[in-house]
Amino acid sequence: GEDVEQSLFLSVREGDSSVINCTYTDSSSTYLYWYKQEPGAGLQLLTYIFSNMDMKQDQRLTVLLNKKDKHLSLRIADTQTGDSAIYFCAESPSDYKLSFGAGTTVTVRA
Amino acid sequence: DADVTQTPRNRITKTGKRIMLECSQTKGHDRMYWYRQDPGLGLRLIYYSFDVKDINKGEISDGYSVSRQAQAKFSLSLESAIPNQTALYFCATGDRGTNYGYTFGSGTRLTVV
């Protein structure tokens, strides 16, 4: 996933907000995605945002999209221990393929 | 039952051996994918298929082959396994006409010794 970049690690205190950042390269991506991978499990689609939107909110999750800067972020409010996981950002440079970032490992500490 | 099932979940094999990883889905999706995951590298696409008669190479297809036996089945083979193919392998499905992301299997952890 060299076309999609994200930091590798994030440590956050329980109850605080987490912000995971991602930059992508393909401005033609129609959708951008956030996936969550819990230990020993596959990737689970967490949320996605259509490219003509700036923001999408879903309960504790807020996705912000800055198309000009090709920057995507995921904010998790009131982070819980169950939010500890690897979070992957992905873009869709074509209608048949997703390109993933390397994943951000989020560790929630008490 | 899981929507996308991968077998085996774990496998240790010796260098030079042929090994097949299997994937089956109940989603009714026409598109199927094989990815490998390596720490710090994320997911890289090995092969993908749009239907039984359509197979396409991804970015890292060397050393791998695939077979789409039916709409619901897509297997990945390592003809002669080598240690740098040690990784976590994921099968995924997608639905033509939508781009709401993929459904992933739970993965196969392969170790080549």
What's A15-84 look like in SS3?
CCCEEEEEECCCCCCCEEEEEEECCCCCEEEEEEEECCCCEEEECCEEEEEECCCCEEEEEECCCCHHHC
Is A3 part of the contact surface with chain B (CB cutoff 8 Å)? no
pLDDT of residue A31: 87
The verdict on a CB contact (< 8 Å) between A42 and B104 is: yes
β-bridge mates for residue B5, sequence order: B24
Distance (Å) from the C-alpha of residue B13 to the closest C-alpha of chain A? Answer: 20
Distance of alpha carbon A60 from alpha carbon A19, whole angstroms: 12
Distance of alpha carbon A74 from alpha carbon A62, whole angstroms: 6
Q: Using CB atoms, pick whichever of A1, A41, A48 lies closest to residue B100.
A: A48
Mutate to test the interface with A, among B31, B33, B37 (most CBs of A within 10 A): B37
pLDDT of residue A27: 79
**A-chain residues near B105 (CB < 8 A):** 42
Task: Give the model confidence (pLDDT) of A3-20 as tens digits.
Answer: 899 989 999 999 999 999
Distance of alpha carbon A90 from alpha carbon B62, whole angstroms: 24
pLDDT of residue A1: 42
Give the pLDDT band of residue A95 (cuts 50, 70, 90). Answer: low
Phi, psi for residue B8 in degrees, rounded to 5: -75, 175
* Segments in chain B forming alpha helices (H): none
A37 to chain B: closest CA residue? B106
B109 and B10 in contact (C-beta within 8 Å)?
Answer: yes
Distance (Å) from the C-alpha of residue B30 to the closest C-alpha of chain A? Answer: 11
Name the burial class of residue A52, with classes exposed (0-12), middle (13-18) and buried (19+) by CB atoms within 10 angstroms of its CB.
Answer: exposed
10-residue averages of pLDDT along chain B (113 residues): 90 97 94 92 92 93 96 96 96 78 92 97
SS3 state of residue B25 = strand
The verdict on a CB contact (< 8 Å) between A43 and B104 is: yes
Is residue A2's pLDDT more than 70?
Answer: no
pLDDT of residue B39: 81
The verdict on a CB contact (< 8 Å) between A96 and B48 is: yes
Calculate mean pLDDT across residues A81-103.
Answer: 88
pLDDT of residue B81: 97
Sign of the CA dihedral B22, B28, B33, B38? Answer: negative
**B-chain residues near A31 (CB < 8 A):** 99-101
pLDDT of residue B44: 92
Task: Give the model confidence (pLDDT) of A18-74 as tens digits.
Answer: 999 999 988 777 889 999 999 888 899 999 998 889 999 999 999 999 999 999 999
Neighbours of A47 (CB within 10 A): 18
**B-chain residues near A4 (CB < 8 A):** 42
pLDDT of residue A85: 96
The verdict on a CB contact (< 8 Å) between A92 and B44 is: no
Calculate mean pLDDT across residues A97-102.
Answer: 88
A86 to chain B: closest CA residue? B42
pLDDT of residue B99: 62
Structure tokens at A36: 């969550």
Distance (Å) from the C-alpha of residue A41 to the closest C-alpha of chain B? Answer: 5
pLDDT of residue A26: 81
Is A102 part of the contact surface with chain B (CB cutoff 8 Å)? yes
> Quick one: DSSP state of residue B30?
S
